[in-house]
Amino acid sequence: MMLEGSLLAATAFEGSALAGIDYVIVVTYMLGVLAIGTYFGKYVRSAGDFFLAGKALPFWAIGMSIVVSDIGAIDFVSGAGGAYRYGISQANFDWIGSLPAAAIAALIFIPYYWRAGVYTIPEFLGRRYNSAVQIIEAVLWLGFLISMLGVMLWATAVMMNTVLGWSHLQSIWITVIIVGIYTVSGGLAAVVMTDVMQMVVMFIGAGALLILGFSAAGGWEGVVGKVTSLGAEYADHFTLLLPHSADTPYPWTGIVFGLGIVLSTAYFVGNQAVVQRALGARSEWDAKAGMLFAGFLKLFIPILIMIPGLAALAMYPGLEDADKAVPMLVRDVLPAGLKGLMFAAFFAALMSSVDSYLNSCSTVFMSDVYGKIYHGIHGRALPPRHGLVVGRILTAVLIIWAGWFAPKIERFETIYVGIQTLLSFIQGPTLAILLLGILWRRTTQWGGLAGLVLGVCVTVSLTVMGDEIFPSDNPFLFVSFWSFVFSMIVTVVVSLLTPAEPEAKTRGLVFGQVIHDEAVQEALKDRVNGP
């Protein structure tokens, strides 16, 4: 899917070769990212500096980085394609799919993670429940992140090959070198600060396409008039919430309960790439504010990325493949210079995702695999300097491995699809055990394990039967909601049937205690300030 998206994005530039000014913009952008990224290397002196940016990130950088890491080149194409097909209901994924969740994450979960001083979500689950829960989560996340690295590098290569004429291998290794140098050197700080620059480039490029696209299509009124005159099937194109039984993947019940309550919250509180940025905040206030700022910025994403799909619908109605709408718009309305900027925006979208996944992948491996093994052998935590050296080597190995793996990705497509599907199965159950683990002290390790494992089994079963029992052809929103409800029930029942955890084990890991208990905060201080 991502490979197809990248190829389609690249077709935006086909048949209208980039002008000299476009190449200047693209090369300047690449050098700028490299310069900013490597600059932050001089501040990295320990594992804490490398993986959590020395806990020095301001709220605005956290918010911008969270938003830009979530957007890939695919979103420019398939997001707008979705708006072309289904109208503005596609925007729900960034609107109701981000804000209630970002506020809940900011005001409940993030302060809790931040004070607990953990590096990763699996680490937190391991402390609250047991090693089995930590290992299940860590293995799934590692499999997903590693395979995604290869996929994203290949997607970048496909685009660069089409637009710049570089071979796939050249394109992959140029990306590996640029991203590798600044991520190995500067760690999370470099990733976040380059994300800030990449977001500015993306907003300018996508903003230009929005303004020129709507101008060419006759403005908002013109677009509404042309789209609604296309026929009755386009009558709902300007309606956000569609009927429960509508012939669309997005009925309002799925959007509000499946997306608004479960999937979006699971994303904001359980996605390592998102949470890691907040954990690197310079203060608890910045961690919370960064998350809220991300919720605010998300407001603009559908406007910049999806709404051009409506302008394309007004200009090119009746396309068989809606995902070609925006590439056509780019080709037809952007002049030289802005085309280069738009290509830089596509490239920025891909690079920001590659560096985020790379950094998160090495953090999960260090914290949940290497750190645990080291502790098991030596009986003490990883020394900060040792963690930094191993973290840098690991990051370099991962990006080189991803570069080697990327050209072979199509041969392993089944594995990639399998891992991605498996990860989607754990969203609802993970949210259930995170929520209960934080809000209810009585939740036990066996309740958490049962909730996770049985919840995944129910998600798989519901996915298999989904189109038979739910009123949608693509029932993942309903599946996630019901699997979340089921996991909550199982976790509560099993927790009540098993002995309560000793107070010492949950000390500092339950929200009420973290807020109100000064002694708990003192006990957490060493860990928060440690590696």
Partner 1 sequence: MSSPWDAFSEWMKQNVAPALKATLAPLDAWIDSLPLWTGTACAVGLFVLVGLWAFTLKRSYIYLGAPDQKRWRDLRIWTTLVLLPYIIIYLVF
Q: Where on the chain is the footprint of partner 1 (CB under 8 A)?
A: 88, 95-96, 99-100, 102-104, 106-107, 111, 238-241, 243-245, 252-253, 255-256, 260-261, 283-289, 292, 295-296, 299, 461, 464-465, 468-471, 515
Token readout for 349 is 């979208």
Nearer to partner 1, 256 or 369 (CB): 256
Q: What secondary structure, in 3-state letters, does 32-45 show?
A: HHHHHHHHHHHHCC
Nearer to partner 1, 172 or 269 (CB): 269
Rounded to a whole number of angstroms, the minimum distance from the CB of residue 251 to partner 1 is 8
- For residue 161, what is the enclosing H or E element? helix 131-164
Nearer to partner 1, 382 or 479 (CB): 479
DSSP helix/strand/coil, 117: coil
Using N-to-C axis directions, what is the helix angle for 168-217 and 325-333, rounded to 10°?
80
Separation CA 395–CA 398 (nearest Å): 5
Rounded to a whole number of angstroms, the minimum distance from the CB of residue 241 to partner 1 is 4
In DSSP terms, which residues pair with 281 in a beta bridge?
A: 57
Rounded to a whole number of angstroms, the minimum distance from the CB of residue 112 to partner 1 is 11
Nearer to partner 1, 45 or 296 (CB): 296
Nearer to partner 1, 410 or 467 (CB): 467
Nearer to partner 1, 161 or 265 (CB): 265
Closest CA to 137 of 435, 416, 425, 401: 425
Residues sharing a CB contact under 8 Å with residue 357, sequence separation 6 or more, in sequence order: 145, 148, 149, 152, 273
Q: Where are the alpha helices (DSSP H) in 71-130?
A: 73-74, 80-86, 99-104, 110-116, 121-128
246 half-sphere exposure, CB direction, 13 A CA radius: 20
Distances in Å between the Cα of 184 and the Cα atoms of 133, 178, 264, 394, 428 are: 30, 10, 31, 9, 33
Separation CA 372–CA 250 (nearest Å): 42
Rounded to a whole number of angstroms, the minimum distance from the CB of residue 258 to partner 1 is 12
Rounded to a whole number of angstroms, the minimum distance from the CB of residue 285 to partner 1 is 4
Q: Are 77 and 243 in contact (CB under 8 A)?
A: no
Nearer to partner 1, 31 or 469 (CB): 469
DSSP helix/strand/coil, 97: coil
Rounded to a whole number of angstroms, the minimum distance from the CB of residue 9 to partner 1 is 27
Q: Where are the alpha helices (DSSP H) in 325-409?
A: 325-333, 338-365, 371-378, 384-405
Separation CA 299–CA 307 (nearest Å): 12
Using N-to-C axis directions, what is the helix angle for 168-217 and 384-405, rounded to 10°?
80
Rounded to a whole number of angstroms, the minimum distance from the CB of residue 106 to partner 1 is 7
Nearer to partner 1, 171 or 253 (CB): 253
Nearer to partner 1, 85 or 288 (CB): 288
Rounded to a whole number of angstroms, the minimum distance from the CB of residue 110 to partner 1 is 11
Closest CA to 311 of 298, 326, 300: 326
Rounded to a whole number of angstroms, the minimum distance from the CB of residue 46 to partner 1 is 21
Rounded to a whole number of angstroms, the minimum distance from the CB of residue 493 to partner 1 is 19
Nearer to partner 1, 107 or 523 (CB): 107
